[in-house]
Chains A and B, each alone.
Chain A
């Protein structure tokens, strides 16, 4: 066979290759300076190469470490969701390309679910774009609508990709922190608020968009209608867009309600709302998300999409569509996964909080999402001898991983440069974990004070 005889005569070809390469390189040595310059990266990605997840996922990869760091469930997705994917993969045509902007049955299902939630007509073909995760929706939205000269308001702490994505689009991130209003009662995510006057000051004629994340990662705050109205009023007054990251929309706990800012008056026409299959169905590895909004905004996201990856995988979209139909039909039923997952997580939240309290910590109880932040400065772990320029929480998490075999994420990773000091005593735990993982965390936390390092 032609290929066999040629390609795998490894040794002979390789030696010859290496010899000619070396000879060639010695001749080109003088031009090496030029080569290095010409192959430099583009300006748009300058300074965006570092990513703390790469570092922290590597550290936590050791299976002996109890991983409460990265936000991924170790619970199983519901069985019907897994079954739908097996069914979809068995259909031949579902292994080939589907419609670029979103598989027809999926955009139809999404339009039905969200019409019900939003109380308005949503056209599946023009008002929805399916993307590779909510991450892909954030990217498509920012690339479509943000450019050099624009300012984008980002609320701190923030899901870390917002800042580099805004910078990659050539725009300037403008940060505003959530501030803890201390009233002495045990901390809840609701205690973290925006100062309306401070927020108003951040808006100017260059402000193109504000990025909202509710329920909020990492704090777990669920913005109230009044809080959203403050933001909405400013968006309308300054004619600004709103990018609303609502991936945790179903994960709200008792006494709280997720409100979509796009449903406030004057907001639909200026808001892109982003959702995630990964967070809705505990299938982060499916990497499917969506952007929903008015045609005059979504059409630009579609242009980005058709020039970046064109289509998302077909069998996953079909399976997701079927899962949505199952739950759409029972949206009045408490067994609907959108509500049952939330209930399941609420008890995990409460357990996580209790474990941390037993160590003497004061966790911020989240009203939504599956993360919990906690101030660890009260543990008084002295890391001044750790010779690194990193913020305290980075050093703490690394120390905790090595000495306690428990991982979390440092909160200053979610902050702009001005606020890192303010948040460096907090770390973030993820509690969408099976009981045995939380049991293992419990053992570590209960024994925390018994081990003296």
Chain B
């Protein structure tokens, strides 16, 4: 076919012509992702995976049943589009539930928006509020997606670390011992600061910010008139009787805060990818604009099931059978078990006040990890990779949760996920004991 040959040779000669890169500049510097690497390593080598954050136990029966009910009902329209900004039964439940928790009247249509996981909620927030040149304050260590999302929006991330204070004599360090220096925090605010990202309970440390700490942040938000993106996906996973305080309930904060939540973490169903945002209409209207121009609708069936899950929890609120009480109770036991396990082998756990993550200091732990001359890869990253390949135990290096410039400041910690069956945690213990 002469025309085919001609166009083929034309295309070959023109391929060299594309001198500008095919990809958009907004992708610059955000192509790397630790999960792609570590998930692959865990899949290839691990026998015990305490790495990526998801439960290896199932969602509660009542939630699975709700999903099946939604599918088997007469109404096959649950397989079709629902309302773009959130399935009506779900937004109504979320408005009711969070309205009670915040002490506010929430309109399900304007104060709530459903997203594809909390991840997409974060994306909508950055796209809606961060313009080129805007500064965004991120507290380290941070859930790693905040930095690339800020960059993709053309913003400048400004980092401020939680700094560990020595624990009281004889006690194990707690996530509460990692704190912001108030003067240091205040110094990070500038005229260009648009947003601060708060994550409490914090992944990876498990820190649950106290009222005093939140007030410190709130005062600065109000003083500098900035927005707060409050990632509260682990809101139910708090231990030892601690209280999860919502920064939006502090004075002056409702109007400038977007609260983010996750069904995946709330109901142990990370694979459903249902998340939400709660906030004033003035802010949520812009999230809706981003959402309707990026994803538009979220899958219907899971939203229906999550709505029913919330109904059940609303009915049982405060009662012992409430999943929001049972889950943290169960996880606290697992936390304590893992703490003991790590402490016994010389990995020094930082006892988390919340989330299902635990960070351990490995600086005193015997290390078979070979030195690599000239490598700028942080020690904890090399340790974690060596550990999964040689011991079959997967965990995540803490340096993954720091910006490039600070990775080497905290390079002797690793993060474990303890939302795992007893058998998994036992197996992890066996590996650690043998290693010692």
* In the complex with contacts A233-B7, A313-B271, A143-B296 CB distance below 8 A: no
Tell me if B271 and A96 are in contact (CB < 8 A): yes
Say yes or no: is A73 at the interface (Cβ < 8 Å to chain B). yes
The distance in angstroms between the C-alpha atoms of A384 and B256, with both chains bound, is 45
Q: What is the number of contacts between chain A and chain B, taking CB atoms within 8 Å?
A: 274
Interface residue total, chain A, C-beta cutoff 8 A: 101
Question: A80-92 interface mask toward B, CB cutoff 8 Å, 1 = contact, 0 = none?
Answer: 0010011001101
Min CB–CB distance A59 → chain B (angstroms): 14
Contact status A42-B272, CB under 8 Å: no
Give CA–CA (A336, B255) in the complex, Å: 54
A197 at the interface (CB under 8 A from B): no
Measured between alpha carbons, how far is A60 from B296 in the docked complex, in Å? 18
Q: Is the CB of B293 within 8 A of A48?
A: yes
Determine, out of B79-87, B160-168, B350-358, B380-388, the stretch whose residues face the partner at the interface.
B79-87
A29: CB under 8 A from chain B?
A: no
User: Which of the four size classes fits the interface of chain B?
Assistant: 35 or more
A42-B130, A94-B271 as given contacts; A313 in contact with B302, CB under 8 Å: yes
**Nearest-neighbor residue (CB-CB) of B12 within chain A:** A266
> Once the chains are docked, how many angstroms separate the CA of A364 from the CA of B175?
67
Residues from 238 to 292 in A contacting B, C-beta threshold 8 Å: 239, 241, 265-266, 269, 278, 282-288
Enumerate chain A residues within 8 angstroms of B227, measured Cβ to Cβ.
Answer: 38-39
Decide yes or no whether A146 CB sits under 8 A from chain B.
Answer: yes
| Shortest Cβ distance from residue B129 to the other chain A in the assembled complex, whole angstroms | 6
B25:A38 contact, CB within 8 angstroms? no
Q: Which stretch (B31-39, B335-343, B371-379) binds chain A?
A: B31-39
The residues in A between 81 and 138 inclusive whose CB is less than 8 angstroms from any CB of B are 82, 85-86, 89-90, 92-100, 132-133, 135-136
Contacts of B153 in A (CB 8 A): 42
B contact residues around A17 at 8 Å (CB)? 103-104, 249
B295 touches A139 (CB 8 A): yes
Contact: B25 with A286, CB < 8 Å? no
Pairwise interchain contact A161-B131, C-beta atoms closer than 8 A: no
Describe A's contact surface by its main secondary structure. Answer: helix
CA distance A321 to B68 in the complex (A): 19
Q: A94-B271, A143-B24, A303-B30 are in contact. Are A74 and B77 (CB under 8 A)?
A: yes
Say yes or no: A96-B7 contact (C-beta < 8 A), given A21-B251, A45-B128.
no
In the complex, the answer to whether B27 meets A73 with C-beta atoms within 8 Å is no
A13 within 8 A of B: yes
- Using A3-B318, A8-B317, A95-B269 as known contacts, say yes or no to A309 and B22 having CB atoms under 8 A apart: no
Residue of A nearest to B87 (CB): A285
Let me know if B100 and A82 touch, CB within 8 A: no
- Of all chain A residues, which has the CB nearest B53? A97
Query: Are A285 and B101 neighbours in the complex by a CB distance under 8 Å?
Result: no
Q: Least Cβ distance of A303 to chain B in Å? A: 5
Question: How far does the Cβ of B62 sit from chain A's closest Cβ, in whole Å?
Answer: 13
Q: Which of A86, A96, A308 contacts B270 (CB 8 A)?
A: A96
CA gap between A297 and B21 in the complex, in Å: 11
Query: Taking the nearest CB of chain A, how far is it from the CB of B38, in angstroms?
Result: 12
* Residue A54 lies at the interface, judged by CB distance under 8 Å to chain B: yes
| B4/A31 in contact, CB under 8 A | no
* Of B198-206, B279-287, B397-405, the one with at least 4 CB within 8 A of chain A: B279-287
Which residues on the B side are within 8 Å of A180 (C-beta)? none
Known A7-B101, A39-B282, A41-B128; contact A311-B296, beta-carbon cutoff 8 A:
no
CB of A176 within 8 Å of the partner chain = no
B residues in contact with A300, CB < 8 Å: 22-24, 27
Interface with A: B112-120, B178-186, B207-215, which one? B112-120
Q: Is the CB of B296 within 8 A of A133?
A: yes
Output the least CB separation between B17 and chain A (Å). 6
Does residue A236 face the partner (Cβ distance < 8 Å to B)? yes
Residues of B within 8 A of A95 (CB): 58-59, 64, 268-272
Interface presence of A185 (CB below 8 A): no
CB of B93 closer than 8 Å to a CB of A: no
- B415 at the A/B interface (Cβ < 8 Å)? no
Cβ-based interface call for A190 (8 A): no
Q: Does B330 have its Cβ within 8 Å of any Cβ on chain A?
A: no
Task: Tell me the bound Cα distance from A48 to B104 in angstroms.
Answer: 30
Which residues of the partner chain A approach B36 to less than 8 Å between Cβ atoms? 100, 306
Quick check: B14 and A296 within 8 Å, CB to CB? Answer: no
* B301/A85 in contact, CB under 8 A: yes
User: Is the CB of B299 closer than 8 A to any CB of chain A?
Assistant: yes
Known: A28-B252, A98-B271. A86 touches B72 (CB 8 A): yes
CA distance A315 to B128 in the complex (A): 30
Q: Is the CB of B54 within 8 A of A132?
A: no
Q: Does A165 contact B (CB under 8 A)?
A: yes
Query: Is A4 interfacial (CB-CB < 8 Å)?
Result: yes
Q: Does B327 belong to the interface (CB within 8 Å)?
A: no
CB contact between B81 and one of A70, A82, A237, A308 (< 8 Å): that residue: A70
Give the docked Cα–Cα distance between A306 and B149 (Å).
Answer: 10
Q: Are A24 and B103 in contact (CB under 8 A)?
A: no
CA distance A245 to B226 in the complex (A): 40
Q: Which residues of A contact B296 (CB under 8 A)?
A: 133, 135, 161
Find out whether the CB atom of B27 lies under 8 angstroms from the CB atom of A304. Answer: yes
Is A20 on the interface with B (CB-CB < 8 A)?
yes
Q: Which residues of B contact A145 (CB under 8 A)?
A: 22-24
CB nearest to A304 among chain B residues: B27
CB-CB contacts of A10-44 with B at 8 A, as 1s and 0s?
Answer: 10011001001100100010010011001101111
Decide if A54 touches B292 in the complex (CB within 8 Å): yes
Closest-by-CB residue of B relative to A161 is: B293
- A72 within 8 Å of B by Cβ? yes
The docked-state distance in angstroms from the alpha carbon of A241 to that of B20 is 13
The answer to whether A34 and B119 have CB atoms under 8 Å apart is no
**A357 close to B (CB within 8 Å):** no
Any B CB within 8 A of the CB of A310? yes
Q: Find chain B residues with CB under 8 A from A44 CB.
A: 127, 131
Closest-by-CB residue of B relative to A268 is: B11
B298 at interface, CB cutoff 8 A? yes
The answer to whether the Cβ of B243 comes within 8 Å of any Cβ in the partner chain is yes
Residue of A with least CB distance to B85: A54
Residue B412 at the A interface, CB < 8 A?
no
From A43, A99, A288, B131 is in contact (CB under 8 Å) with A43
A237: nearest chain-B partner, CB-CB? B10
Partner of A82, one of B5, B76, B119: B76
B348 on the A face (CB < 8 A): no
- Residues from chain A with Cβ under 8 Å of B83 in the complex: 57
A138-160 contact mask (Cβ, 8 Å, vs B): 1 or 0: 01000111110000000000000
Chain A residues with CB under 8 A of B78: 285
Whether B290 sits at the interface, judged by CB under 8 Å, is yes
Q: Is A232 an interface residue (CB 8 A)?
A: yes
Inter-chain CA distance A86–B69, complex, in Å, is 10
Contacts of B15 in A (CB 8 A): 269
Task: List, in ascending order, chain B residues with CB within 8 A of A57's CB.
Answer: 83
A sample of 27 cross-chain residue pairs with beta-carbon separation below 8 angstroms, ordered by A number, consists of A1-B318, A7-B317, A35-B256, A38-B226, A42-B131, A44-B127, A51-B292, A85-B71, A95-B268, A98-B271, A99-B39, A133-B297, A135-B294, A136-B294, A136-B295, A144-B24, A144-B27, A232-B7, A266-B8, A283-B79, A285-B78, A285-B79, A286-B301, A300-B23, A307-B152, A309-B120, A316-B299
Given A42-B286, A284-B79, 19 additional A-B pairs, CB 8 A = A4-B317, A5-B318, A21-B254, A57-B83, A82-B79, A94-B271, A95-B59, A97-B271, A99-B39, A100-B36, A136-B294, A139-B293, A164-B293, A265-B11, A266-B7, A286-B301, A296-B22, A303-B30, A309-B295
Going nearest first, the 4 A-B pairs with the smallest beta carbon separation are A4-B318, A314-B271, A285-B300, A266-B11
By a beta-carbon cutoff of 8 Å, the part of chain A in contact with chain B is 1-8, 10, 13-14, 17, 20-21, 24, 28, 31, 34-35, 38-39, 41-45, 48-49, 51, 53-54, 57, 70, 72-74, 76-77, 82, 85-86, 89-90, 92-100, 132-133, 135-136, 139, 143-147, 161, 164-165, 168-169, 229, 232-233, 236-237, 239, 241, 265-266, 269, 278, 282-288, 296-297, 300, 303-304, 306-316
